[in-house]
Each structure stands twice: as C-alpha cells, then as structure tokens.
Amino acid sequence: MQQQKNKWHSSVRELPVVAGLIMGIAIVSTWGLLGAGQTVQQAPQRPASTATPQVTPYPAWADGTQPDHMVPGKPWESAYQPDGWPSQRQLSYVKQIQQYHPALYAQWGKRLNQALTNKKLDRRTEMLIAAATASMVFWARPVVEYYIDLAFEAGSNTKEIMAALNGGSEPTEHSLHDGLGALWHVVHTRQKAGKPTPLEGPPLTEKDLIPGQDWTPVKLSYQLPHPRPHDLSRWKYDPVGEEIERRENAERRKLQLRQHMPVRLIELIWTASDMAVVRWPHPLLDNHLNQGLSRGSNLQEFVEVMMVAAELVQGAADSNVAGRRVPTGPEILVHGLQGLSRVVAERDKAGFKSPAEYGEGFTKKMY
C-alpha cells in the first residue's frame, strides 16, 4: 500500500515537468506558424506572367488517352485524296449526270470533263476548302489534319487556315473544336519535323479584296427580300445589341486589321459548304455563287470546287459517330450546277459578265 502511495506522489511531482514540456512545444510550434505566416505576408508579390502557358503539344482526352492523329504519308483510305484525281467516284459522278440529267449535262458537260482531264484549281485553294469542309462535316480528326498539312505544303499559313476553318455556312463550336485542334497538332508536328508553319502570309492585294456586289438597287432575284427578315428582326428586337455590333465593326475598321484570306476564297468555301454540307437552296446558295463571280472567280473554278466538295464529304459518317449524313456525290453536284445555271441566267439578264475560264476573273470591283 505504501509503495502505491509513493508511486502516486512521484507521478504528481512529475506532472508540472511534463506540462511544462508540452507548453514549451506548443509555444515553439505556434511561433513557427506565425513566423511562416508573416514570411508569406511580407514576401513581395510577383507580377503575373505574360508568357505563353506551357501546355502539352498534343492534348489528351480526360482519361489520358490521345485522340487519333494523322500518320504523315499515310492518308485515310476512304477520304478524298487530291493526288488521286480523277478518282473512280469523280468519273462515276459525271457519267451519272450524263445519263440521268441530260439537260444539265448539255450545259455543263464540257466543263465537267475538262475538270476530269485538266483540273486547274490551285492546290492551296483546294486544301483550304477541303480543311474547312471536312471540319464542318465532322470527318475523323486524322482527315482534317491531313488537309491542313497539305495546305501548309501548298504555301498557306496559320492565320489563313484559321480564317478558312471559321468560314463557310456552318462553322460551329464542334467543328472548330476539331478543326482548330487539328491545326494545333499539325503545327507542332511540322515544327518538330523542321517544316515551315508561317503565322501570316504577304499582305493581300487589291484583287484579293474586291468589295461585295451592291444590293441597292436590287437587280437580281436572290437579292430579295431586301433587307432580309433575319436582319430586320435583329434591328427591331435587339437594337442595343445591334448598336454595340455596329460600333465594334467601326472600331475594327479604324484599326485596319489585316484580312488573311482572299474574298474570292471566302465565297468558294461558302459555296462548297452550302451545297455539300447543309444543302442551302435558292436564294442563299445563288447569292454566294453570284458574289464569287463578281469577286474574282470563274465558272470553271466553281465547277471544280463543286466536284471536289461532292466527293470530299462522302464517308464522313463512316469515320466518325458525329459525321454528317450527306446526299450522294451526283445529288450534290446536281444541286450546285442547277444553282450555277440560275445565276448565269440572272447575270446575263442584268447585263453582268460571268467570267468563264481561269485568268478571266475580275481584278477590281465591276458591279
């Protein structure tokens, strides 16, 4: 019993010592934390970095896997391949138009066959149209990358390719997701291989910037109704938004920002997507055909663009679950050629010339 009491008294005597040690440790720890806090508060704030963020050259999906990419030198087998012109598809398209649309073939057969045997559509224009249209129809990523790579090879540049991807009748967040993503990958792949990826090209010339044809007074049926109801809706129901946009456009004109794509090419991309992707009817398709003829293009170039676009969109739905379902090549060609027939007839009636061959396109505003 006495031994237990001695042990208890001994423990009581030791309590102050232990408590003191614990308090000392707590004070030191607290002082350290306060000191660290003061250090953080007193450290000078670094200015925000203006450098380009360091990102992975080849972005991965959320699960860490890579999206499918182009294999250089190995084009997608079922995609449109410019080096295989004319393809069996193209030969069959012309043959079917001859057989099932004799009146249309009588008007355009010579130009269709000329396109088969002596296509003059320049490679740079062709690949920019191909890249833009392929992204809008949601071809698999390797195909979009293939056309962008060929556009660089043909002498294009990054900003011109971006303008093409943003052009046409239906660029969307989805098409730009794939199109601009493809551009990012191609640029880094080419740079790694030591190939050129210029940011901009030389300044555009006067013939590249011909203003659009005037709509006042109205001389062509596809200029009606004028103004368009969708414009009237914006002006009437959202005047504040329209005023903001008007001021923005005015400020952009003051800055004299460079345009990176010839206006003729803008109309060609619109036409390709109008007829092959969304199948716009008269008057929207006709308007871009007319504007293209007034801004430097010609009938033969339009026929060749139509033939390229008709084949280009075939197979997109086989390559990608999101790929657009499109009409057959002959149906697309018939739709485009019928529009071109209407436009030529209207222009003839109004006394406007329709440049027919390469080299005959306008170099300044005529109408």
Rounded Cα distance between 218 and 273, Å, is 26
Using alpha carbons, list the distances in angstroms from residue 101 to 50, 206, 275, 300, 313: 61, 40, 18, 19, 22
Rounded Cα distance between 187 and 180, Å, is 10
Identify the pLDDT of residue 14. 46
Question: Reduced to 3 states, what is the DSSP secondary structure of residue 155?
Answer: coil
Contact status, residue 128 vs residue 161, Cβ threshold 8 Å: yes
Rounded Cα distance between 151 and 124, Å, is 6
Q: Structural domain boundaries of the chain? A: 82-350
Identify the pLDDT of residue 22. 42
Alpha-helical segments (H) within the chain: 2-42, 88-100, 102-118, 123-136, 141-153, 158-165, 173-192, 229-237, 239-255, 263-276, 284-294, 299-312, 316-319, 329-350
Identify the pLDDT of residue 175. 86
pLDDT by residue for the chain (367 residues), tens only, comes to 444 444 444 444 444 444 444 444 444 444 443 343 433 334 444 445 555 555 556 666 667 677 789 988 889 999 999 999 999 999 999 999 999 999 999 999 999 999 999 999 999 999 999 999 999 999 999 999 999 999 999 999 999 999 999 998 778 888 888 999 999 999 999 999 999 999 999 999 999 999 999 888 999 998 888 888 989 999 999 999 999 999 999 998 899 889 999 999 999 999 999 999 998 888 889 999 999 999 999 999 999 999 999 999 999 999 999 999 999 999 999 999 999 999 999 999 999 999 999 999 999 999 9
φ, ψ at 71 (rounded to 5°) = -105, 110
Looking at the DSSP bridge assignments, the partners of residue 74 are 71
Q: What is the DSSP string of 3-48?
A: HHHHHHHHHHHHHHHHHHHHHHHHHHHHHHHHHHHHHHHHSPPPPP
Identify the pLDDT of residue 68. 86
φ, ψ at 81 (rounded to 5°) = -125, 110
How many angstroms from the chain centroid is the CA of residue 128? 10
Q: Which residues of 340-358 are buried (b: 16+ CB within 10 A; e: fewer)?
A: bbbbbebbeeeebebbeee
Is pTM, for the whole model, over 0.85? no
Using the 8-state DSSP alphabet, how is residue 209 labeled?
-
Rounded Cα distance between 92 and 106, Å, is 17
Q: What is the dihedral of CA 106, 112, 118, 122, to 10 degrees?
A: 140
Topology of the domain comprising 82-350 = AhpD-like (1.20.1290)
Contact status, residue 327 vs residue 275, Cβ threshold 8 Å: no
Nearest Cα neighbor of 200 from 260, 262, 150 is 260
Rounded Cα distance between 358 and 222, Å, is 25
